């Protein structure tokens, strides 16, 4: 197996990010972890294997598993309208444009929002950094996705008609809370973190964990980094199920190991097989067209293969040469965190950085090198 430490050291030397942490399970079962660089542009402390990172949308796969556990128990139905439990989604409306004064124009949606559509990003809900129409709507109304516990925003299309990355899995987290009567943090701890021995993954880092946190940096045009004040709110907030968790590379690998190992002890084999199967037909998935370049580059993962979405993340329907096998699960987090889990070979891995914009070419190249190391 290629030296993981050398890959990260080279990435820091190339100024792809101030620091990195990574952990992998190689094809064949060997495990490795490495860290390099410093915690941030404002923190010269060395990144170590216990450095805590905001993992952002890497949270989504965990929330998706939680929802599927409730489907297994008969408490949720993938294809039932969610409006009975989430009144804010009971009568969705679709944005059709803007009038002469710039005010949004909407119409009632022609189909309901369901859990399946929330989990597959086919509900019509969007993120403003990847939807110019939603960004224009929020500017016209003065709203933000973080300004309310249940933001009232329109759909970008009728549910089921397209794939667009958005806040659907935050609503899936709200659905888990509604059904169980627990906060999402408590549900995760009881049903996912404790069974897997995940002790460093949390929405709310304690004081000791905060002392080990990497800071978020902005990459400037000249390749230098400047620290920016950033962190999830310290109280429960809307953007939780879709992006609120902090973790370490090694702790998140425990979750990926369960995925690469077939889903146990989290899901039954039949549920796991459903989660890892194409749920969106012929729709392409995974491409994010950025409309906020300071936050994200346009992102197109694995352009050489057919991409689809299961019930927990991106699936490649073709093998990637030298990397993951067909049917692997993968996705990412906004501050340049990336993972994959390959049930066919048992390989998995995660690379964590803390920089904006998302989709940084250097970090993506580092992630590819780490993944290739797991198969070498």
Domain end call among 148, 177, 206: 177
305-364 pLDDT, tens per residue?
999 999 999 999 999 999 999 999 999 999 999 999 999 999 999 999 999 999 999 999
52-105 pLDDT, tens per residue?
999 999 999 999 999 999 999 999 999 999 999 999 999 999 999 999 999 999
Q: Which two tokens stand for residue 243?
A: 């992006």
Position 2 scores a pLDDT of: 62
Cβ atoms within 10 Å of 36's Cβ, excluding its own: 24
Q: Which residue has the higher pLDDT, 116 or 145?
A: 116
User: Is 100 among the domain residues?
Assistant: yes
Domain end call among 136, 156, 177: 177
Query: Could you say which of 21, 123, 131, 165 is catalytic?
Result: 165
Instruction: Tell me the average pLDDT across 244-268.
Output: 98
User: Is 237 among the domain residues?
Assistant: yes
DSSP β-bridge partners for residue 40: 43
In the residue annotation, 136 being an active-site residue is answered as no
Phi, psi of 104 (to 5 degrees): -65, 145
| Residue 62 shares a structural domain with residue 132 | no
Instruction: Tell me the average pLDDT across 154-180.
Output: 97
| Residue 162 shares a structural domain with residue 191 | no
Position 144 scores a pLDDT of: 87
Domain extent, residue 92, equals: 77-177
Question: Residue 149 pLDDT more than 80?
Answer: no
Query: Could you say which of 21, 35, 60, 328 is catalytic?
Result: 60
In the residue annotation, 57 being an active-site residue is answered as yes
| Residue 95 shares a structural domain with residue 127 | yes
Which of 204, 254, 250 minimizes the C-alpha distance to 32?
250
195-220 pLDDT, tens per residue?
999 999 999 999 999 999 999 999 99
CB proximity list for 73: less than 8 A, separation 6 or greater: none
| Residue 44 shares a structural domain with residue 123 | no
Number of folded domains that form the chain = 2
| Residue 251 shares a structural domain with residue 188 | yes
| Residue 255 shares a structural domain with residue 193 | yes
DSSP β-bridge partners for residue 107: 94
113-144 pLDDT, tens per residue?
999 999 999 999 999 999 999 999 999 999 88
Phi, psi of 105 (to 5 degrees): -120, 130
User: Is 8 among the domain residues?
Assistant: no
Position 152 scores a pLDDT of: 87
Q: Which two tokens stand for residue 307?
A: 């991409």
User: Is 51 among the domain residues?
Assistant: yes
Which 8-state DSSP code applies to residue 220?
P
In the residue annotation, 60 being an active-site residue is answered as yes
Q: Do residues 341 and 348 make contact, with C-beta atoms less than 8 angstroms apart?
A: yes
Residue reference for tokens 């667009």: 164
Position 230 scores a pLDDT of: 81
Domain end call among 135, 154, 177: 177
Query: Could you say which of 57, 64, 247, 296 is catalytic?
Result: 57
| Residue 59 shares a structural domain with residue 188 | yes
User: Is 7 among the domain residues?
Assistant: no
| Residue 196 shares a structural domain with residue 211 | yes
């Amino acid at each position: 197996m290629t030296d993981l430490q050398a890959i990260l050291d080279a990435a820091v030397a190339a100024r792809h990010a101030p620091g990195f942490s990574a952990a992998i399970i190689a094809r064949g079962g060997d495990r490795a972890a490495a860290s390099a660089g410093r915690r941030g542009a404002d923190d010269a402390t060395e990144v170590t294997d216990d450095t805590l990172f905001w993992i952002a949308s890497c949270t989504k796969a965990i929330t998706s598993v939680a929802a599927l556990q409730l489907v297994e128990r008969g408490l949720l139905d993938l294809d039932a309208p969610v409006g009975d439990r989430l009144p804010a989604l009971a009568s969705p409306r679709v944005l059709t444009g803007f009038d002469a004064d710039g005010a949004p124009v909407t119409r009632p949606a022609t189909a309901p929002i369901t859990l399946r559509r929330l989990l597959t990003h086919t509900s019509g809900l969007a993120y403003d950094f990847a939807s110019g129409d939603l960004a224009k709507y929020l500017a016209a109304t003065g709203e933000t996705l973080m300004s309310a516990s249940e933001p009232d925003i329109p759909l970008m299309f009728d549910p089921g008609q397209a794939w667009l990355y958005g806040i659907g899995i935050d609503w899936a987290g709200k659905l888990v809370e509604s059904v169980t009567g627990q906060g999402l943090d408590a549900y995760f701890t009881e049903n996912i973190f404790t069974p897997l021995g995940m002790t460093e993954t949390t929405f709310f880092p304690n004081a000791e964990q905060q002392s080990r946190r990497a800071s978020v940096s902005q990459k400037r045009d000249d390749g230098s980094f400047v620290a920016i004040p950033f962190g999830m709110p310290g109280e429960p907030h809307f953007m939780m199920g879709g992006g609120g968790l902090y973790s370490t590379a090694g702790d998140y690998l425990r979750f990926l190991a369960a995925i690469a190992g077939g889903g146990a002890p989290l899901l039954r084999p039949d549920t796991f097989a459903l989660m890892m199967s194409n749920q969106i037909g012929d729709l392409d998935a995974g491409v994010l067209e950025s409309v906020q370049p300071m936050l994200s580059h346009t992102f197109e993962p694995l352009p050489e293969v057919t991409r689809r979405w299961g019930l927990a993340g991106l699936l490649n329907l073709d093998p990637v040469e030298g990397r993951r096998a067909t049917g692997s699960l993968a996705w990412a987090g906004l501050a340049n965190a990336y993972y994959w889990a390959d049930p066919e070979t048992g390989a998995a891995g995660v690379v964590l950085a803390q920089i904006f914009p998302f989709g940084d070419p250097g970090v993506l190249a580092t992630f590819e090198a780490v993944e290739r190391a797991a198969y070498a």
